[in-house]
Structure 1
Amino acid sequence: MASSFNIDFPGTSNQFVVTANSAITEKGGVFNGNDSKGTFSLDTPIGDIKGSYLILSDTNSPQTHIEVTITDKPFLVPMKKIESTIAGFLMK
Structure 2
Amino acid sequence: MERDEAERIARVLKAVAEPTRLQLLSMLQASPAGEACVCDLTAPLGLTQPTVSHHLKVLVDAGLIAREKRGRWTWYRIVSGELPAVRNLAR
The structure with more helix, counted as a fraction of residues: 2
Pair in the same fold by TM > 0.5 = no
State the structure with more CA Rg: 2
Give the TM-score taking structure 1 as reference length. 0.31
Structure number with higher relative contact order (C-alpha < 8 Å, ≥ 6 residues apart): 1
Give the TM-score taking structure 2 as reference length. 0.31
